Amino acid sequence: MSDDPSNEGNVDPQATDPGANQGTDPGADPTPGASNPLNSDAGGDPTGGDPGQAAPEGSGGDPEGTPTPWFQGDQLPDDWREQIAGEDSKTLNMLKRVDGINTLVKNYVEAQETIRKGQNAAPAGPPEDEAKLAEWREANNIPAAADAYEFKMEDGLVLSDGDKEDLQPLLESFHGMNLNNEQVGALVNQYYKMESAQSDRLIAQDHTDQVAVKEVLEKQWGGDFDTNMNLIKALIGQEFPSDIADDLIGARLANGKGLFNDAGVLAAFAKIARTVNPVAALVPSGHNPMQTLNDKIKELETRMKDDPTWHKDNAAQQEYMDMVTARDQLNARHGG
């Protein structure tokens, strides 16, 4: 109590209400005795620290002591995916498929675990034991033998018995590699697609070569082009067995060009044909060659004597010379 009579009867509100100044002075301690560690139920800092400082992690927020997450889903910016992806559109598209960062982290952890398991796992190869190998093949859709493969051909293709026989060495290799039905089916289909493409290329090239060789030989042979081609066909048909004749016509040179799509080959065969059968190009088929040839020569020799225009008929003169040459060659072959 003060000795000053002027203060007698006056009451200091701060002296009677310890919380009266709370909130008025930001530097004051709102709870007297807060620095006393025994006064912990007054809500102060039992360590004597500044009450304005944040409480240590796990000591505040949740009354049960559970830490408050450093983020909440609704606290992330709407464009968090764009911020992470930057200019990588592929990454952005992948992020758009996750509904939040929690899912993103979960997916990452699971992916890493899968990778680690895959790196540590031993390859599941075929067992060495024959009995176990048979069981393993059955479990993996691999037939017991190479000729037991089952697969479907594409584009309506049906394999003949000959095709299957040709494929057998290939199927043996596939079986030794322990390829299953689906794998073998894919490989066989691809094989035939490649073979078909090669055949198509050869057909197209043959057509191109045929046009080119005809153009060349028509310039060389002139009006004899059709005659020479017929002589070549007659020569092959008459002088070669039928099975060999077919193989010969379909034969190819080392460069892949058809044998009879080469101008040099056709010219050589035409020369051989005229040598083997010199009358064939001069007289109609189905007649006695020598008799017909002699009759034609006599006819031309008569005209040579009686026809004043003979010396101007170059075609007839050439025909006469060809027939005489053919007669001489035919006589020589038969010892005449």
Q: Where are the domains of the chain?
A: 76-117, 282-336
- Render pLDDT for 224-235 as a digit per residue (tens, 0 to 9): 898 889 889 888
The Cα–Cα gap between 40 and 239 comes to 125
296: which residues sit within 8 A by CB, 6+ positions away?
A: 282, 283, 323
Looking at residue 326, its pLDDT comes to 76
Q: What are residue 258's DSSP bridge partners?
A: 252
Say whether 240 sits in a helix, a strand or coil.
Answer: coil
Position 65 scores a pLDDT of: 63
The closest of 191, 145, 132 to 172, measured between CA atoms, is: 145
What pLDDT is recorded for position 59?
Answer: 45
pLDDT, average across residues 302-306: 89
Beta bridge partners of 252: 258
Of 67-71, 220-224, 305-309, which gets the smallest average pLDDT? 67-71
CA distance 268 to 248: 14
CA distance 307 to 310: 6
Closest Cα to residue 265, out of 239, 229, 302?
229
To the nearest 10°, the Cα dihedral for 132, 136, 142, 145? 0
